[in-house]
Structure 1
Amino acid sequence: MKRVRQPILMVRVLAVLASGASVMSCFSNRQNEGATLYATHCSNCHGSQGEGLKRLIPPLAGADYLVKNRSGLACLVRKGLNGPLVVNGVEFNQVMPAADTHLTDSQITNILNFVQTSWGNKGEIFTIREVSEQLRGCGASDGR
């Protein structure tokens, strides 16, 4: 009788481990989405390490702008920027293209969280709710 119970127990243990691995891979993929999206949509200008480009494009690594303007970052990504801004005491005045049609609220959240926690940045993590509220405030939420 014990021989029958052991295989059943082993099957149950393996099933739990397999389902746990499956769930973890889902979270891992979403967790890394911010890095992937940043590499695709942002790094061409802001650099792979968030270093920016001299006095043309502002850095994101160690940028005081991220802390001082947290409440407008989602709209900045969605709507872009045309006009001057100051980062770490340096004025930048280049056009940042909008992400109006190709990034969802969720993707913007993931990009912002990647930037907030990369290259030594220690910013507070955004929630999807916070980003969607910011985007509704500037008329730019897509609800996704």
Structure 2
Amino acid sequence: MSQLLPLLLRLSALLATGLLFALGTTGCFSNKQNEGAQLYQTHCASCHGEQGQGLRRLIPPVAASDYVATHRSYLPCLLRNGMRGPVVVNGIEYNQVMPAHKNDLTDAEITNLLNFVQQSWGNKNEPYTIREVTELLGPCHGSIIR
């Protein structure tokens, strides 16, 4: 019996370590799954709204947005370089400055953010791949791979 106790204690320690590792890695992967939503909240929601609804006739919506659906190849550069001048979204003209994200979003983060918008709030658009976003950023000199 005295030899069994140390073995049981070691087995318990191994099980506890394995459980902590599993819980820690699950949290890591689930954070990546929600990265697009988190990036939207950090970089976009203050202007475009928590639900992508925009702000009256000042800031265009990204929810159920014809612009998001029809300007797929331009959206990565729009995020990277921002935008000045008029834009028409869902038949309404907007003319506010959209800030650039020149150095604070990687290609992978832009991909995740765009995929979140592409699949949220009534948008049912094809998801991007990282390769596609990197290629689309090439002409606007916006690719950042870390």
The bucket for the TM-score relative to the shorter chain is 0.7 to 0.9
CA distance in 2, matches of 1:25, 1:127: 23
- Superposed CA deviations along residues 32-65 of structure 1, whole A, max 9, x for unmatched, are 0111111011000000000000111000000000
- Superposed CA deviations along residues 92-117 of structure 1, whole A, max 9, x for unmatched, are 11100000011111111111011111
Counterparts of residues 1-144 of structure 1 (less than 5 Å): 24-144=26-146
* Native 8 Å contact 2:103 2:144 kept in 1: no
Q: Tell me which stretches of 4 or more aligned residues in structure 1 moved more than 4 Å.
A: 15-24
Q: How far apart are 1:120 and its partner, in Å?
A: 1.8
User: TM-score scaled by structure 2?
Assistant: 0.82
Letter in 2 for 1:97: P
* Native 8 Å contact 2:69 2:123 kept in 1: no
CA distance in 1, matches of 2:18, 2:139: 44
Letter in 2 for 1:33: E
The number of equivalent residue pairs is: 139
Q: Highest CA radius of gyration, 1 or 2?
A: 2
Letter in 2 for 1:84: P
- In the alignment, structure 2 segments of 5+ residues that lack a partner are 1-16
Partner-residue secondary structure (3-state), 1:118: coil
Letter in 2 for 1:66: V
Q: How far apart are 1:123 and its partner, in Å?
A: 1.1
CA distance in 1, matches of 2:89, 2:131: 27
User: TM-score scaled by structure 1?
Assistant: 0.83
**Corresponding position of 2:13:** none
1:17 and 1:124, CA in 2 relative to 1: closer, same or farther beyond 3 A?
Answer: farther
- In the alignment, structure 1 segments of 5+ residues that lack a partner are 1-14
Instruction: Give the RMSD, CA atoms, in angstroms.
Output: 2.3
Per mean C-alpha deviation after superposition, the further-off stretch among 69-78 and 16-25 is 16-25
CA distance in 2, matches of 1:39, 1:123: 20
Partner-residue secondary structure (3-state), 1:115: helix
Letter in 2 for 1:79: N
CA distance in 2, matches of 1:94, 1:79: 14
- Superposed CA deviations along residues 6-37 of structure 1, whole A, max 9, x for unmatched, are xxxxxxxxx99987766544331111011111
